[in-house]
Structure 1
Amino acid sequence: MNYRIAFFDIDGTLVNDEKKIPLDTIEAVAETKRRGVEPVIATGRAPYFFEKLAQQLGIESYVSLNGGYVVYKGKTIYQHPIPRTDVEALVRLSTEHRHSLVFEGSAEFYANNEIDPSVQNAVLSLKVDLPGYDPDFWTKADIYQVFLHCEEQDEPIYQKQIPGLRYIRWHKTAMDVLPADSSKAEGVKAMLRLLELEPEQAIAFGDGLNDKEMLSTVGLGIAMGNSHEDLLPYANYVTSHVDQGGILHGLKYAQIL
């Protein structure tokens, strides 16, 4: 298949547990560009969490915030914020249960609790700056994603009472919260429409639970060797670990390299 575009998750895919990009991954992405295949970041992270990484890899386009905010070469092409009524319901319910929130806009992010250690521990695990403090930020800007800081046993509280939202756990004390109909796949589709490409002309790499739809959507879905086991049924191919040439081997399997 003549693939034209490749979508890459970040955590556990482009970067390892230390949040560093393996050298063979940097070289493989560069060679992918030289061979005429466009590399695109597709992540749950907000744009301000991966600016340096994108620059290091020479990647200009991205699907961010789990598909909620998509940019192609500097131009915003797709936006899907959380409905304001759902954010309000989440604020109300989380306040009742004393769970902190971090609101993610397209350019800024703020917490509604500036002293909660669960917020600090989860956010710092991403190797990014801590959020600012503004409990009313959600009333002033479009919110594309929220970090809900609670433990696994508390998830049903939100799933039952606010079914219009989707909840994806990424940390012991944190979940991504986004619109129920949002996913990386929807952002991928938006970019493919813009470029007039068919899904069969795209490949994607991922390792986490938020990559299920994306791997299922493209022509070739590749799971990293370090993937969550529940992702594997959604992949066409399982490559090696991120630190063992996973991206390089996957691109070779796709016959891009």
Structure 2
Amino acid sequence: MKNKGAVFFDVDGTLIDWTKKIHVPTKATKKAIEKLKENGYLAILATGRPKNCIDEGILDLGLDGYILSNGAYAEIDNKVLFNEPLDNKELKVLLNFLEENNVVYMLEGQEYNYVLDMKNNKILDLIREANLNINNFKTEWDKDTVKVSKIIAVAYDEKSFDIVVDRFKKEGYAFMSNLSNGGLFEIYKAKYTKGYGVDQLLNLLDIDKDNAYAFGDGENDIEMFQSVKYGIAMGGYHKRLEPYAYDFTEDVENEGIEKALIRLGIISDSLVEI
């Protein structure tokens, strides 16, 4: 039977909100996704996280597919469609520059994350706040061979971010800053976005854009919203996302996903029981 459509879900600020200590999807969110699948829609994750950072609470949703690392990796029904790590020669230049400018970093691969020092307080704070599995981190690795899709950098001040952007902005990288949240910023190849992953999956599954929905809250959800007809911005969304949203809903804490799916007619109010 042909699917009615596909619904794509961001993780942080959408399915969960680690800033509010909501580390697993709520019961209402889980039930709503279960019902939308029963109603003939595919439920697909679309996140900046790599596969190793998708924890049990998300996996327990029984999603049909994954777009990870901002679109650099995708799979459907446990089949890998593509996996595009950063070029090691370019990566080495970038990492050497970060180290020379005292910018702490974490490398995100699909199997593991890689750091220079597990005792670094900034790295430990990131692991704790984002509820990451410390067993998925390695300190023994080689810049010439490591396979990673994205870099999480921890700036000491806003100047650190500006220095990195100025040096590498013409080399095909994208930068997403969240300096107010512990000084974090992301570095990844601009070619790969959530929108890129969504386009590939919709084409493969023969699902029209008019039957595609997406939930997100961040700046890196813009391209995803452009690739579907119905982009739903969660409460607390980034201001740059607003022009691209079809509609708006409440935040994770106030069951924004459940309420929007009901309003969109994908699930029935009477079907969702907590």
TM-score between the two structures when normalised by the length of structure 2: 0.87
1:205 aligned residue (202, 205, 215): 215
Superposed, 1:120-139 pairs within 5 Å as 120-130=124-134, 132-134=137-139, 136-139=141-144
Partners of 1:207 and 1:76 in 2: CA distance: 26
* Distance 1:138-1:72 versus aligned 2 partners, 3 A rule: farther
Alpha-carbon offset, residue 114 of structure 1: 2.5
DSSP-derived class of the 1:94 partner: helix
Deviating 4+ runs (over 3 angstroms): 135-138
Percent identical pairs in the alignment equals 26
Residue identity opposite 2:161 in structure 1: E
Structure 2 residue aligned with 1:251: 261
Which runs of structure 2 are paired with 1:44-83 in the superposition (5 Å)?
44-83=48-87
Displacement of 1:189 after TM fit? Answer: 1.2
- In structure 2, relative to structure 1, the CA distance for the partners of 1:135 and 1:212 (3 Å cut) is farther
Q: Pick from 36, 40, 52: which aligns with 2:40?
A: 36
Match of 2:174 among 166, 173, 178: 166
| 1:156 maps to which of 142, 153, 162 | 162
Any idea what the Cα deviations from partners look like across 1:57-84, whole Å, max 9, x if unmatched?
Answer: 1114110111111111111102222222
Q: Is the 8 A contact 2:232 2:247 kept in 1?
A: yes
Q: Which residue of 2 aligns with 1:147?
A: 152
- Residue 36 of structure 1 deviates from its aligned partner by 0.5
Residue-pair matches, total: 256
Residues 1:191 and 2:195 are matched in the alignment:
no
Structure 2, unaligned runs of 5 or more: 268-274
Partner of 2:271: none
Q: Tell me the distance in 2 between the aligned counterparts of 1:66 and 1:152.
A: 23
Partner of 1:15: 16
Q: How far apart are residue 3 of structure 1 and its match?
A: 5.1
Tell whether the 8 Å contact from 2:6 to 2:212 is kept in structure 1 after alignment. yes
Residue 133 of structure 2 aligns to a residue in which SS?
A: coil
* Residues 76-135 of structure 1, C-alpha deviations (whole Å, 9 max, x = no match): 102222222321121111111111221111111110233221111123211112353436
3-state SS of paired residue (1:89):
helix
Structure 1 vs Structure 2 CA RMSD: 1.8
- Cα distance in 2 for partners of 1:210, 1:52 equals 23
Q: 1:134 to 1:243 in 2, by over 3 A?
A: same
Read off the aligned partner of 1:172 and give its amino acid letter: G
SS state at 1:62 partner: strand
Deviations 1:175-223 (A, max 9, x none): 2211022211111112112212222221000011111111122110000
Change (3 A) 1:172 1:66: same
Give SS of 2:188's match. strand
Unaligned runs of at least 5 residues, structure 1: none
Contact residue 209 and residue 231 of structure 1 kept, 8 A = yes
**SS of aligned partner of 1:20:** coil
**Counterparts of 2:4 and 2:162, CA distance in 1:** 41
Q: Does the Cα contact within 8 Å between 1:103 and 1:111 map onto a contact in 2?
A: yes
CA displacement 1:40-65 (0-9 Å, x = unmatched): 11111111211412332111411011
How far apart are 1:254 and its partner, in Å?
Answer: 2.1
Aligned CA distance change for structure 1 residues 224 and 58 (closer, same or farther; 3 Å): same
